[in-house]
Amino acid sequence: MSMNDPLGDLLTRIRNAQMRRKGKVQSPGSRLRGHVLDVLASEGYIRGYSTTEYGNGRTEFEIELKYYDGEPVIREIQRVSKPGRRVYAGVGEMPQVANGLGIIIMSTPKGVMADHAAREANVGGEVLCKVF
């Protein structure tokens, strides 16, 4: 089965696992997913993740979800740029989420980063998803 939107699949797996109050969730591995998980971990939205290597170059991520007082830390995670409609933003028109309480994960020429890091690096790019 071919998958058109691997990042959307990752976000849906996280969303579904948090609705069921799971502690961990597995997802197939890719470089883009790994970079997005790095940003989520550095911003404190997930506890972390580990990579399991299988044969034939196949990898899998095991993501540890984070909860505070029984509620998920990620209240909402939403895909912005989709395969059918790509969304790009320059430094000047970069959107804010929940008046700065959330983050936007962007793919820039300098790598995948949160919106505040992209503003500091003075780069724009593709708006991958928003988290708050």
The pLDDT value recorded for residue 2 is 56
At 77, list the tokens. 């995670």
Q: Does the reported pTM lie above 0.75?
A: yes
52-88 pLDDT tens trace: 999 888 999 999 999 999 999 999 999 999 999 999 9
Domain that holds residue 28: 6-131
Number of domains present in the structure of the chain: 1
Give the chain's residues under pLDDT 50: 1
- CATH number of residue 88's parent domain: 3.30.1490.10
Q: What is the pLDDT of residue 1?
A: 43
Q: Is residue 1 in a domain?
A: no
pLDDT (0 to 100) of residue 3: 81
Predicted local distance difference test score (pLDDT) of residue 9: 97
Distance (Å, whole) CA 63 – CA 39: 13
Strand partners, 113: 106
CB atoms closer than 10 angstroms to residue 87:
12
Residue 14: partners with Cβ closer than 8 Å, 6 or more residues away = 25, 46, 63, 65, 74, 77
